[in-house]
Amino acid sequence: MFKRAELVKTIFSPGDYPPPMTAEFAFAGRSNVGKSTLLNALLGVKLAHVSGTPGKTASINFYKVDNRFFFVDLPGYGFARRSRTELERWRQLVEDYFVRRGGIATPVVLIDVRHSLQKADMMMLDYLRARELAFITVLTKRDKLSGNQFSKMLSYHEKQARSLGAFGVFPVSAVSGRGIQELRKGLEMIARSYSADKR
């Protein structure tokens, strides 16, 4: 369990990011994938706002964890009920983030385990691969599937993730808590590897 977490900055326009810390984890996913719920489960405290309206978050939120690294909550993608101007602004915001922080950030891409990869998912994964950013995949909502269904979809997503360049796949349920501790350990290992690189 992480001991301390706090929201330190909310950004609506490109730039003006906080100074880097040891490591940074950028959480990205479609608007209804359960990103805020997962962040709250990981942190053990309700910091990220869970909205009943998918796609409502239009900012990049920086959460400082244990005074060692950032969890970065990126705006959800793939939600069509917004104006073209808003969608373009969100795209520019996320792209600016990866251009400026890609060298220190580990993208954490959330995928709903119940469904095959959607067009919006592929666009994000292809973008990360084009920028040569190593990422991990988190499969959310595992509690929504029975044992056989889950095994089938897990196998599919693991194969897809590996083929697209993911170096880790973590199935989780923010509701039941299954997989959350394993994901925490995985993030801690990555953060420690960043620390070792800087020695």
Question: What pLDDT was estimated at residue 2?
Answer: 87
Beta bridge partners of 71: 25, 63
**What is the pLDDT confidence band of residue 199, given thresholds at 50, 70 and 90?**
very low
C-alpha distances (whole Å) from 96 to each of 42, 49, 63, 78, 114 are 26, 23, 18, 18, 31
Residue 74 has pLDDT above 50, yes or no: yes
Condensed to tens digits (0 to 9), the pLDDT of residues 83-128 reads 677 777 878 898 999 999 988 999 999 999 999 999 989 999 999 9
Collapsed DSSP state (helix, strand, coil) of residue 22: coil
CB contact set of 66 (below 8 Å; sequence gap of 6+): 2, 3, 4, 5
CATH of the domain at 96: 3.40.50.300
Domain that includes residue 18, residue range:
5-197
User: What's the whole-model pTM score?
Assistant: 0.91
Collapsed DSSP state (helix, strand, coil) of residue 104: coil
Q: Residue 65 — φ and ψ, nearest 5°?
A: -115, 120
Q: Number of folded domains in the chain?
A: 1
Burial of 11 (0-12, 13-18, 19+ CB in 10 A): middle
Question: What pLDDT was estimated at residue 72?
Answer: 96
